[in-house]
Amino acid sequence: MKEIFDEVSLKCSEITTKRYSTSFSLGIKLLDKSIHNPIYSIYGFVRLADEIVDSFHEFEKKNLLLKFKEDTKKSIAEKISLNPILNSFQNVVNKYNIEWEHIEHFLQSMEDDLDKKKHDEKSYKKYIKGSAEAVGLMCLKVFCNNNSLLYNELKQYAINLGSVFQKVNFIRDISADYHGLKRVYFPNLEIDNFNEREKEKIETDIENEFQSALIGIKKLPPSSKKGVFLAYTYYYSLFEKIKATPSSKVMTKRIRIPDFLKILILIKVEFKSFFGLI
């Protein structure tokens, strides 16, 4: 009867995804139905870990995260967990042969969020490797459906895509991260001196990774290409809006894409997909 529990677990991951990220949920809808649930499961796991470090301030977050890591490892080994999110995630890990290395790197970055408030170049790259690149590689495992040759061909592009999404999030949330969580992710950045020159330097790095990631998206299987391209287009639109916003305003408000524009982006992606332009 574990099938029923697995269905309930998947539904928990799906609800978690839709509750926390409307834009990510929209991207999943454009994936082939056969990979909806695995991606919901990965996002549910990532979101739960992120909530531990960002939201549960009245609890011992370090202990919660340590237990979460131990429970994750145990669930993968035993192929079951009474935590529905972890049960859903372990099914995906075991089915698609996701390496523990990626999961451990991700959880290490979450742990870093508990203690490290500023980054140098080395710790910044290490954080992105775990918080974003590792997640991109987990999703790529699903997209490639255990085709190791395709996975190896697309691996670096997935790393670039995860990295660029994270960097856009960093600059979008630069004010909230600093004022709310006392974190500064960009290396050696003195937040009080954040100006147009610093902003443009960050944007140049982001632009280069966007271009590289797009090459890989075009090589994805049809089952995942359109959904990933939607996420790419959404983030690039967000990035363009950030570029058009003065550094002083970026420091005082969170840049957003309005719902009507999200619909236009969806239509644009559907159009390009229909005519084979991606």
Residue 117, pLDDT score: 80
Are 42 and 142 within 8 A, CB to CB?
yes
pTM, entire model: 0.94
Domain of residue 112, residue span: 2-274
Alpha-carbon distance of 222 to 127, in angstroms, equals 31
CATH number at residue 43: 1.10.600.10
The pLDDT, as a whole number, for residue 275 is 82
52-56, 107-111, 264-268, 274-278: range with lowest mean pLDDT = 274-278
pLDDT band at 232 (very low <50, low <70, confident <90, very high): very high
Contact 37, 164 (CB under 8 A): no
Q: Is pLDDT at 1 greater than 80 in this prediction?
A: no
Q: What is the pLDDT of residue 229?
A: 96
AA identity, residue 275: F
| pLDDT on residue 274 | 81
* Mean residue pLDDT across the chain: 94
Q: Give the Cα separation of 111 and 113 in Å (integer).
A: 5
CA angle (101 as vertex; 90, 236 as ends), nearest 5: 85
Total domain count for the chain? 1
Distance CA 110, CA 125 (A): 14
**Average pLDDT of the segment spanning 120-146:** 95
pLDDT score, position 157: 95
Give tens-digit pLDDT for 53-110: 999 999 999 999 999 999 999 999 999 999 999 999 999 999 999 999 999 999 999 9
221 neighbors 150 (Cβ within 8 angstroms): yes
Distance CA 70, CA 257 (A): 37
